Chain A
């Protein structure tokens, strides 16, 4: 229990009695300091999992523990102290009229002293590199910048667990890159549990572990490197591996990789060292 930050124990969930089960018997756990990616096609139940993790929804069957606390209607506020969440739509989670007010929102809700608030806002905007935008209104920010502010808002409350629910899905390629860089930097600088939800396999390369969801069930639990080998099976559940992985898998037939390359750089390194090794 001490190292397990999140435990899903036989969790089943449906939105209403007369509706199909959205999650069926889901089991997994997330350890201290781990970055876990949850992957799955649209409607596979990823957001439902995220909402269950901080008590926006409650399981119909099974139990969920977050940081040792069982998630129930009585404990939601304790759970939300420890869980920060970034949603998909950059606009619909921006509450404040300026960047500063928005980062403050979570702190104000927790009744944090104003002086501490000011310090935390400064620090968290610094770590997402948005300090220069302190007094900007949301409509003057790009999608990527708004999402970085949302991440700052989460960092400011110093959570144990940060959930990013398709935080990049509505962004352009540049915004996506901004967010992925921010997340990778965070991972390096702070020790915080990270759950990143996505349907884009390009975004899981940095994760320690991947949980693949399909139609409300855990389809596979593995590491990114292993997952990239399963190109055909993934395609059957509506997921597409990155170009690098595809190329590596094609080359596999007459080329012996020492390990499945995760990134373009790894692929290139293996390719050019291959010849010199011979």
Chain B
């Protein structure tokens, strides 16, 4: 359980998308999130759908994993569709459903909005599926680097993220240990009314917080002892490099954008 947590949603595979520089992926996905809203007719939506499914195929990740990532949002996608179906009143009445008139415009719009939603979730989840959290952290640190000029603590933020990543499994293990220890003393987390279950969490949280603070203090001391004195003058072991593969990806992506603007009505 803990091992699936540290890597988050990451699914290891040997694909071009995995090997792309995380910055390339972040920038492309960020742009995609914007351009999705420019699609306004069937060809443009089809174009983006082809791109998204193409990118998903390139990751070599089994569709099963891809769909797992979409699971929590299926409901929203369907809900959005239904909402538009019943609320929008444009075009001709197609039929009546449960006593409500369904318009053609509603069908089209509901479908478009849901598709847009689906594409957004699919493409953004490709980032976390193909990039380790630490790569994302590194990418954020370099991408936000210019903000240093306005005194934004970029390095500190990245360090915070990577330390959190490192300690999540440790704290999970600890939570498990404490909850077992408390359960063996008769604390019941699983049954009973909600109020009692919430109260049962207190003896879990208190020791967890105490230990987390102790860890923080010791870690800070260890980091200082190991010569940590802020981001100034540090070198890095993990290096990001934009290579030809990234340039090619950018070119292809540019064609996708250009195509979209040609196709949209």
Q: Is the CB of B97 closer than 8 A to any CB of chain A?
A: no
- Once the chains bind, are B227 and A106 in contact (CB under 8 Å)? yes
Binds A, one of B80-88, B158-166, B184-192: B158-166
B215 touches A (CB below 8 Å): yes
User: A113 in the interface, Cβ–Cβ < 8 Å?
Assistant: yes
User: Which residue in B134, B225, B226, B236 is a CB contact (below 8 Å) of A114?
Assistant: B236
CB–CB B170/A95 < 8 A: no
**Residue count of chain A within 8 Å CB distance of chain B:** 40
Q: Are A109's CB and B234's CB within 8 A? A: yes
Count CB-based A-B contacts (< 8 Å): 100
Minimal beta-carbon separation of B128 from chain A (angstroms): 16
Question: How far is it, in angstroms, between the C-alpha of A248 and the C-alpha of B239 when the chains are bound?
Answer: 58
B170-A56 in contact (CB<8A): no
Residue among B3, B163, B224, B225 having the largest count of chain A Cβ atoms under 10 Å: B225
Stretch from A80-88, A190-198, A264-272 at the B interface? A80-88
- Assess whether B70 is interfacial by the CB under 8 Å rule: no
The A interface, classified by DSSP as helix, strand, loop or mixed, is helix
Decide: A85 and B6 in contact? CB cutoff 8 A. Answer: no
Which residues of chain A are near B214, meaning CB under 8 Å?
Answer: 92
Interface: A105 (CB within 8 A): yes
Instruction: State the CA gap A109–B232 with chains docked (Å).
Output: 9
- A residues 72-113 near B (Cβ < 8 Å) are 77, 80-81, 83-85, 87, 89, 91-97, 100-101, 104-113
**Top 4 nearest A-B pairs by Cβ distance?**
A93-B222, A92-B218, A104-B237, A109-B227
Known A97-B166, A106-B226; 20 more pairs at CB < 8 Å: A56-B221, A56-B225, A77-B229, A80-B225, A85-B225, A92-B215, A97-B134, A97-B162, A100-B237, A101-B134, A104-B237, A105-B226, A107-B235, A107-B237, A108-B234, A117-B237, A118-B237, A138-B166, A153-B226, A157-B226
Q: Which residues does B use to contact A, with CB under 8 Å?
A: 2-3, 6, 134, 162-163, 165-166, 169-170, 173, 214-215, 218-219, 221-229, 233-239
